Structure 1
Amino acid sequence: MDLRLIEYFVAVVDHGGVTRAARELYVAQPSLSQAIRTLERQLGVTLFERTGRGLTLTRDGEAFTGPARRILAGVGHARDRVRTVRDLGGGRLEIAALAALAVEPLPALAAALRRRHPALLVGVLDCASAAEVAGKVRTGEAEAGLVELPGGDDALRCVELCTQEYAVVLPPALAAGLPDPVPEAALAELPFVVEPGGAAAGPVVVECAHRQAIWDLVRHGAGAALLPRRFAEESLDGVVVRATEPPTRRRVGLLVRPGPLSPAAAAFLRAAGGQPADAASRTNARPAGESPASS
């Protein structure tokens, strides 16, 4: 049923007749009368008694008035909700992210988005692999996914966001005597604490699935870890943060489905900046977690 017909019906009821309703709606009176007859045919009832004094609601017309008003109110509410999401005065954005990227850079990116759109709710889905991130974006469980590059998906669009610098984070005793930056040869001799299956620049002495526990293990002297430099410098106490030589960097990308972005996903991309990685850094820097033997 054409929603416009219901709007016309309610207007005729509210304005007491076709003539005044047509004037308020800026519609020709014959067109409005025809619309009411079309609605009656679609409903299979007579809504108005037509007399010399105008139109009078029939019992069927009176019964239809309440539902018609509720339909219009519901549609108006739905339009308001859509407009609110479109204008980012509300709504929700689900982001799938690799566990490491949920630590850095996602918090800063989400904070930038929230500063611009404080009514937008951000949900984060923690994923163990790039394939899991891509799967959640493909199925619509998430609108966007943070992954390391290269690591895209042929069915998805990938936008490069930034290049992260990694640093070696050490307990003070282990850092003693090490130069800054730490060269590959020295990294290869350091004991490392990593997540299960994670790569390291030196021998792995502890595997731990909990990121907070990895930081505590480093702090208590169990070994070193390769972590985002900004995160380590801003968030970890009681450790020494050293650059690596050559620099250890990771390119970060955003996976989205093909086609136009939702308003929330587009706002997230704007907040993230969509910065292309420096071409020289891609050539000269070692990816995070890659061992010296493989570089």
Structure 2
Amino acid sequence: MDLHLVTYFVAVIDHGGITKAAQALYISQPSLSQAIRTLERRLGTTLFDRTGRRLTLTEAGRTLEVAARRILADVDRAKARVAAVRDLEAGAVEITTFSAFSLHPVVDLVRRFRARYPRIMVRVSDADGPSGVHTALRRGEAELGITDLSAEHGGMVAIPLVEQHLVLAMHPDLAEGLPDPVPRALVRDVPLVVDLGSRADAARTGELLGTHNVVVDCAHPTATWEFVRRGIGATVVPAPLARQQMPSAAVRAIEPPLIRPVGLVLRAGEPSPAAAAFIASATEQLREG
């Protein structure tokens, strides 16, 4: 059943006849009469009793009226929901990332976005490194990925956001005697707490790994920070994260600098309104430094 025929049918009821309904709908009276006959023909029944001067509903017409008004109400609600998403008053943006970025830069990006669009929910899912981000995007499990841009991102649109300067964070006792910055070769003699299971992290920190200097292989950031706080080993983290999460730790730069480019990746094509707004917010934050 065509939606416009349902609309015409209800208009005739509400306006008490063809003439006034046609005026309200801005169509000709013959066109509206023909539309009602078309609806009756498709349904195989008579909807209006035309014997008197005023159209009245038949039993079939009264039955259809209930369903027709419900259909139009459902359409109106659907339009309102679509408009709310379009106007960023409702909906969600789906993001996938992995542990290396779960705090920096994800937290700042989400905080800024939510301050501007408080009615949009942000869903952040966990992926297994850059390849896991790609998998989630291809499967439609997320629309945006936050990942290491030094990895291969063929077939995806990549948007640079920030360069993370990685540093060594450690207990002050462990830092005694270490220069600042610490040459990479010297880091190989420092006990480290790192995530060897992350291929992305392992590829980036590979130069820092000596024969026996990884004392704890840990995939959980919170546990890693506690190991550092207790002096078990140093860890390699972005400089802002070291200051925020390990304020009591001694921080040493690495020479030559260890830099990790971070950005958004997404499939080609037009993003949803919520995703487009997140991209705009993130890139604006980048411009502002």
Whether the TM-score (by the shorter chain) exceeds 0.5 is yes
* CA distance in structure 2 between the partners assigned to 1:112 and 1:83 by the alignment: 23
Structure 1 window deviating more from structure 2 (35-44 vs 225-234): it is 35-44
Structure 1 window deviating more from structure 2 (34-43 vs 207-216): it is 34-43
> 2:259 — aligned with what?
249
2:232 to 212, 222, 229: 222
Alignment of 1:145-160 (within 5 A): 145-160=145-160
2:277 to 241, 261, 267: 267
* CA distance in structure 2 between the partners assigned to 1:36 and 1:24 by the alignment: 16
* Deviation digits for residues 152-187 of structure 1 (CA, Å, limit 9, x no counterpart): 443332222221222111110111222222222332
> 2:16 — aligned with what?
16
CA apart distance, 1:275: 8.2
Q: Are the equivalent residues in 2 in contact too, given 1:98–1:129 (CA < 8 A)?
A: yes
Q: Are the equivalent residues in 1 in contact too, given 2:150–2:260 (CA < 8 A)?
A: no
> 1:292 — aligned with what?
none
* Deviation digits for residues 202-239 of structure 1 (CA, Å, limit 9, x no counterpart): 42111112211011101111111110111111222321
Give the secondary structure class of the aligned counterpart of 1:103. Answer: coil
Alignment of 1:90-129 (within 5 A): 90-129=90-129
> 1:281 — aligned with what?
none
Give the secondary structure class of the aligned counterpart of 2:260. Answer: strand
Q: Are the equivalent residues in 2 in contact too, given 1:97–1:133 (CA < 8 A)?
A: yes
Give the secondary structure class of the aligned counterpart of 1:214. Answer: helix
Does residue 236 in structure 1 map to residue 246 in structure 2?
yes
CA apart distance, 1:56: 1.4
* Deviation digits for residues 224-283 of structure 1 (CA, Å, limit 9, x no counterpart): 111011111122232112222222211112221221000111111111117889xxxxxx
- Identical amino acids, percent of aligned pairs: 48
Count residues with an aligned counterpart: 277
* CA distance in structure 1 between the partners assigned to 2:146 and 2:58 by the alignment: 61
Give the secondary structure class of the aligned counterpart of 1:226. Answer: strand
Give the secondary structure class of the aligned counterpart of 1:164. Answer: strand
- Give, as a single letter, the amino acid of the residue that structure 1 aligns with 2:279: L
Specify every segment of 5 or more residues in structure 2 that has no aligned partner in the other structure, as ranges: none
* Deviation digits for residues 70-121 of structure 1 (CA, Å, limit 9, x no counterpart): 0000011111111111111111111110211112111111111101100111
Q: Are the equivalent residues in 1 in contact too, given 2:167–2:252 (CA < 8 A)?
A: yes
Give the secondary structure class of the aligned counterpart of 2:50. Answer: strand
- Give, as a single letter, the amino acid of the residue that structure 2 aligns with 1:177: G
* CA distance in structure 1 between the partners assigned to 2:187 and 2:2 by the alignment: 71
Provide the aligned C-alpha RMSD in A. Answer: 1.8
CA apart distance, 1:188: 2.7
Q: Describe the shift of the 1:89–1:276 C-alpha distance in structure 2 as closer, same or farther (beyond 3 A).
A: closer
Does residue 78 in structure 1 map to residue 78 in structure 2?
yes
> 2:168 — aligned with what?
168
* CA distance in structure 2 between the partners assigned to 1:152 and 1:256 by the alignment: 13
Does residue 135 in structure 1 map to residue 145 in structure 2?
no
Specify every segment of 5 or more residues in structure 1 that has no aligned partner in the other structure, as ranges: 278-295
> 2:6 — aligned with what?
6
* CA distance in structure 2 between the partners assigned to 1:67 and 1:56 by the alignment: 17
Q: Describe the shift of the 1:113–1:128 C-alpha distance in structure 2 as closer, same or farther (beyond 3 A).
A: same
- Give, as a single letter, the amino acid of the residue that structure 2 aligns with 1:145: G
Q: Describe the shift of the 1:250–1:275 C-alpha distance in structure 2 as closer, same or farther (beyond 3 A).
A: farther
Give the secondary structure class of the aligned counterpart of 1:54. Answer: coil
- Give, as a single letter, the amino acid of the residue that structure 1 aligns with 2:224: I
Alignment of 1:183-194 (within 5 A): 183-194=183-194
* CA distance in structure 2 between the partners assigned to 1:221 and 1:212 by the alignment: 15
* CA distance in structure 2 between the partners assigned to 1:123 and 1:34 by the alignment: 50
> 1:288 — aligned with what?
none
TM-score, with length taken from structure 1: 0.88
Q: Describe the shift of the 1:124–1:261 C-alpha distance in structure 2 as closer, same or farther (beyond 3 A).
A: same
> 1:287 — aligned with what?
none
- Give, as a single letter, the amino acid of the residue that structure 2 aligns with 1:195: D
Q: Describe the shift of the 1:6–1:269 C-alpha distance in structure 2 as closer, same or farther (beyond 3 A).
A: same
Does residue 205 in structure 1 map to residue 222 in structure 2?
no
* CA distance in structure 2 between the partners assigned to 1:96 and 1:148 by the alignment: 12
> 1:87 — aligned with what?
87
> 1:57 — aligned with what?
57
